[in-house]
Amino acid sequence: MKKIFMLMTLAALFTYPCCIDNKERTTMTSTITSTTTMTSTITSTIKTTSSTGVTIPWTVCYDIIDEQLRDECFKDEGVRERNPEYCREIISSKWKDECLWNVAVLLSDEAICHGIHLSENIYGCYNDLAMNKDNLSICSYINQDVLMDECMKNMAIKRLNESICSRLMFQRKRDECYNAVALEKLEADICRYVTNYRAKLSCYKTTTENKTLVAECDLEEEDWRWYCYTKVARNNNNISVCDLITSGEWKSICFKELAVHRLDPALCNLAGDSDWRDQCFYELSMIQENINLCSNITDAAVRESCVRESTAN
């Protein structure tokens, strides 16, 4: 185009020499020069080609000699422009993975995750996209079972939907999932699905810790219902709640908990179960540093331990 423009201009000069003065010739020469400069600028800013063969806008990153700084520049440019082609110019697999991962999430495009080098980063990319798009099916792209379970667990928590937990492959992950959803919703009854005893105890303890209403303790598993009643009795400092418990052992536990909460040894005598009654006096003797309370303990071994501990203190 530049050559055609110049030829047309020269033709005009030779065809109409009488009609073009020096001032007009100067103006036309300047126009030619400007056109040449503009053409050169367009070529340098738009036609630079990446290593993948895809044309992308030129960036100053290409002029950086230091490899690490160059990679960081392309990463920043890729994220800023939301263009994965800049990411693909990065030499370091670490920086390239991070760049593609960020751009994939920004564009909500799981296809970009395919270009990530490390498998765990690919799965992390899918996990973030599943959460970002609220699309559970994206978790199925992860072909490592534990990480797919992790993705589905995260989706269950996001949606506050414990039914998703049942679809997880590993029991440990299912327990984690139920526990996490129960804590998010503060619904203790979800804890019944947790199979590991310690994890279940932690789940019930956390979800019932601040309960103040008996109605909130309508749990399917009876032992944990009484556990919840005990928490309500303590939180309300209300001994009558203990009387609602039909289990003799749990009622004794409830009286013991309230006695310790009130620092009232008299309540220990309300515990019908001798083991929990002894435990009540033992705990209060330690808390109040009162060796005399040890004499109320019926089990000889526990009583001796109580006296020994009180003397040592």
Q: Splitting the chain (313 residues) into consecutive groups of 10 residues, what average pLDDT does each group show? A: 37 38 46 40 46 76 92 93 93 94 95 92 96 96 94 97 97 97 96 95 94 94 95 96 96 97 96 96 95 95 94 80
Query: What kind and span of H or E run contains 34?
Result: helix 22-46
296 and 265 in contact (C-beta within 8 Å)?
Answer: yes
Residue of 97, 87, 96, 149 lying closest to 120 (CA atoms) = 97
Residue 92 one-letter amino acid: S
pTM: 0.72
Residue 237 one-letter amino acid: N
Listed by start position, the domains of the chain span 1-34, 218-313
CB contact set of 118 (below 8 Å; sequence gap of 6+)? 93, 97
Which residue's structure tokens are 């804590």? 183
Please work out, in degrees rounded to the nearest 5, the angle formed at the alpha carbon of residue 136 by the alpha carbons of 158 and 150. 65
Residue 49 is given by DSSP the state B
Helix (H, G, I), strand (E, B) or coil at 55: strand
